[in-house]
Amino acid sequence: MSLRQQSLQSSVVAKHIGESATVEVQLTTDPHLTGKRVSGQNFLPPSYSALASLSEIQIAQRIYKLHIPIRLIVTDKEIAKLLPGQKVSAEVQILRSKEPRVAALLIAKHEIRIESEPSRWARSLGKVRLGLRAASGTGDAGSLIPGMVLGDTSLQSENFRSDMRRSGLTHLVAVSGANFAIVSAFILWCAQFLFRTMRLRILATAIALTAFIALVRPSPSVLRAAAMAAVLLIAYATKRGADSLPALGFAIAAVVIGDPWQGRDPGFALSVLATAGLLLFAPRIIAYLSRYLPNVIAQAIAPPIAAMVFCAPVIVAIAGYLSPMSIVANLFAAPAVAPITVVGFIAALISPLAPVISSLLVTCVKPLAWWVASVADWAAGFRVLTIGKGLLGFVVAIIAIALIFLLPRKLVIVSVLIVLSLSYLQRFPGGDWQFANCDIGQGDGAAINLGNHRAIVIDTGPDPEAIDRCLKHLSIREIPLLILTHGHADHIAGLSGAVKGRKVGATWFESVKRGTSAQIGNAKIKVLWPDNGEYDPNNSSIAVRIDTPDFSLFAGGDMEPLTQAVIASELREVDIYKVCHHGSAYQDESFTRALGPQVAVISVGAGNSYGHPAAKTLTLLTQVSAKVLRTDVDGAIAIAAHRHRLKVRTSKGRFNFIRWE
């Protein structure tokens, strides 16, 4: 790996980071659409990403022939139609990549040029994948079937992917040992009708699995599962027994020797650990649970528990949280996995020849896919145990698991219950709250509690997943009034997450003008800006004052001194000031002093490149005796108010690095 790393760092392309070039590359993976991207206040155009092998590069009139792995990012939609093995050329910008296994990141400036057609083999495999995709239809259930059968997640929405991650069901759409076991069993069963001897059946199964690897694409978990399946098939064919643990050891060695970079891949690590948990720990759990539960239930519960225990340190290090509900979610989803995989596999194979029959087969298992999608949506609504990413989370998880094995069982159970209970009592936002500012990165998203799971929402931030998660924590199911202050991406890109599964009443955006007023429950809302003049987007932000019997609030989006000064003389003091433009340096002093807030809330992303909040603004807020709260430091912020007396609670306490979110 070290030699490979050195060769990449000393390659021709690595010596020209930051320069432009004309390149020809051969795709090694399917291009996939990246998620919606936001850069500050701007929406970035949709782009496609693929791994490729750089075969030719022209820089400063010199042409180099080579063979170097790179990552290619393209905005040209034509690349979505291409298959692995095809060659394309383009004008690119060479950038440094964070991926250790590639020499550089190439960003295509203009349209790509297709230099070769796909091979017959690639075209045939592509027809199978596209055929199943077409037969599966739309919706979460439809997008789940290609993922469970072929690992094709291209149809899945960002919200659904988030639900699958949060519920602990992502492994269902990552082709692994379970898929190989199901497909192998099905092919072996079919082979008995074609071949008389077991060796011929095993050979036919091996050939079929080789084609299956090409069909699903050789990801880390696929390679591990394929190596293990090969060992088990050989052992079965030679009648020497099939011991799974040595097979796993061989699979690890074979994959890492073949591709050393897999040793650093989190997906490969999770795949190996999950399999090890099933082999080593699941039998012990079954034996223990069988004393108190029916054997069928014990066998159903044991695998997800064993896999989660073994994978927990790596999951926490990567994601920063564990989902206890993932055990229940996996238990509910398990009965649907085999039927979807087998029927979907048959539908995929016949889709190029008989698309009508393929669609009919998919229709038969679609209710099961709907069930899995519903389980994911339900489980994602529960809180997860947040511990912290990186080394801290890894160490905490390792210590916890070690104590579970080393300490007396009763002491462990009591200790776990105490820790979970104390952390749950500290959950955000806890009990009563009237105003909350979500921690959604560099952007704005806040809510005013109206009671009965209803709230006024002001802006939705840049990330649908983040705002949806925040509103779930706040138990918001209905939004009688949604205020989108202005059209910048860091304020409205999360809209789909905010409205997901919630009833939305009126929406104020652009057309609302100064003087507009409304009352919802005991909350009186008055629009103080904009007027009918023409301003830049920031100074066209909707600014509102909200008054209730317990508190008053001012929120003005990204207003700057030009318009702040216009309304400064009309302002009265408020209890809570949602600081304009993320606390930037552009603030009118008379405007801030007129508001004179008890609490100033700044919604800002940690380590942002804009220098928000500005030291000058923080000083001004301190001078008006405001208690300053920042989402980059304090996390999400909840304020309980009673007769204008405020009590603050944040999601990032001093000691609560283990918390429910």
pLDDT tens digits for 35-87? Answer: 666 666 676 777 899 999 999 999 888 888 888 899 999 988 888 888 889 99
Q: What is the CATH code of the structural domain delimited by 435-660? A: 3.60.15.10
Q: Are 438 and 636 in contact (CB under 8 A)?
A: yes
Residue bearing tokens 């991406």: 489
The fold of 2-118 is OB fold (Dihydrolipoamide Acetyltransferase, E2P) (2.40.50)
CA distance 335 to 65: 52
φ, ψ of residue 63 in degrees (nearest 5): -115, 130
CA distance 282 to 305: 8
Helix (H, G, I), strand (E, B) or coil at 368: helix
CA distance 530 to 562: 12
Domain ranges of the chain: 2-118, 122-266+319-386, 281-318+387-425, 435-660
The pLDDT of residue 655 is 43
CA distance 645 to 54: 64
Given a cut of 90, whether residue 567 has pLDDT beyond it is yes
* 151 to 211, 222, 389, 469: CA distances (angstroms): 14, 10, 27, 26
CA distance 225 to 210: 12
The pLDDT of residue 23 is 92
**Closest of 211, 216, 215, 247 to residue 229, by C-alpha:** 247
The pLDDT of residue 238 is 67
One-letter amino acid for residue 583 of the chain: G
CA distance 460 to 128: 40
Q: What is the mean pLDDT of the chain?
A: 86
Q: What is the pLDDT of residues 153-203, one digit of tens each?
A: 888 887 788 888 888 888 788 777 667 777 887 888 888 888 888 888 888
Vertex 566, ends 561 and 572: CA angle to 5°?
100
The pLDDT confidence band at residue 654, using thresholds 50, 70 and 90, is very low
The pLDDT of residue 78 is 85
Q: Return the DSSP state at 626.
A: P
Give me the percent of the chain exceeding a pLDDT of 70.
93
The pLDDT of residue 14 is 84
Residue bearing tokens 């020497």: 240
Q: Which whole number is the average pLDDT over 349-374?
A: 93
The secondary structure element, H or E, covering residue 52 is strand 48-59
The pLDDT of residue 523 is 94
The pLDDT of residue 658 is 56
- Intrachain domains 2-118 and 435-660 with the same fold: no
Half-sphere exposure of 254 (CA within 13 A, CB side): 17
Q: Are 74 and 31 in contact (CB under 8 A)?
A: yes
Given a cut of 70, whether residue 657 has pLDDT beyond it is no
Give me the helices (H) in 80-119, please: none
Q: Output 205 or 589, whichever has higher pLDDT.
A: 589
The pLDDT of residue 2 is 78
The pLDDT of residue 367 is 94
Given a cut of 50, whether residue 594 has pLDDT beyond it is yes
The pLDDT of residue 220 is 66
The pLDDT of residue 264 is 76
CB atoms within 10 A of CB 169: 25
One-letter amino acid for residue 130 of the chain: L
Q: What is the pLDDT of residues 419-475, one digit of tens each?
A: 667 666 666 777 789 999 999 989 999 999 999 999 999 999 998 888 998 998 898
Half-sphere exposure of 232 (CA within 13 A, CB side): 20
Whole-prediction pTM value? 0.75
Q: Which whole number is the average pLDDT over 243-271?
A: 79
**Closest of 491, 487, 501 to residue 378, by C-alpha:** 501
Pairing of strands 105-108, 62-74: parallel
Q: Are 83 and 130 in contact (CB under 8 A)?
A: no
CA distance 432 to 642: 10
Beta bridge pairs of residue 68: 54
Helix axis angle, 355-380 to 325-350, nearest 10°: 170
Instruction: Report residue 447 CA to chain centroid gap.
Output: 23
Query: Where does 151-296 show beta strands of DSSP type E?
Result: none
CA distance 569 to 85: 67
Pairing of strands 503-508, 478-483: parallel
The pLDDT of residue 242 is 56
Q: Which whole number is the average pLDDT over 542-556?
A: 96
Spatial CB neighbours of 82, under 8 Å, sequence gap ≥ 6: 27, 31, 88, 114, 118
Give me the percent of the chain exceeding a pLDDT of 90.
39
CA distance 331 to 420: 22
Q: Are 278 and 262 in contact (CB under 8 A)?
A: no
Spatial CB neighbours of 361, under 8 Å, sequence gap ≥ 6: 135, 343, 344, 346, 347, 350
Residue 34 gets the label, from left (phi > 0), alpha (psi -120 to 50) or beta, of beta
* 258 to 168, 228, 243, 263, 269: CA distances (angstroms): 30, 14, 23, 11, 16
* 552 to 46, 597, 644: CA distances (angstroms): 41, 9, 8
The alpha-carbon radius of gyration of the chain (Å, integer) is: 28
The highest-confidence range among 29-43, 376-390, 422-436, 575-589, by mean pLDDT, is 575-589
**Closest of 59, 137, 129 to residue 94, by C-alpha:** 59
Tokens for 44, please give them: 């970035």
Given a cut of 60, whether residue 656 has pLDDT beyond it is no
Residue bearing tokens 């949806």: 468
Given a cut of 50, whether residue 403 has pLDDT beyond it is yes
Given a cut of 60, whether residue 141 has pLDDT beyond it is yes
Q: Which whole number is the average pLDDT over 351-362?
A: 93
Q: Among 171-180, 400-409, 468-477, 500-509, where is mean pLDDT lowest?
A: 171-180
Given a cut of 70, whether residue 229 has pLDDT beyond it is yes
Tally of helices (H runs) and strands (E runs) in the chain: 22, 26
Vertex 98, ends 95 and 99: CA angle to 5°?
110
CA distance 408 to 501: 44
**Closest of 546, 527, 526, 542 to residue 455, by C-alpha:** 546
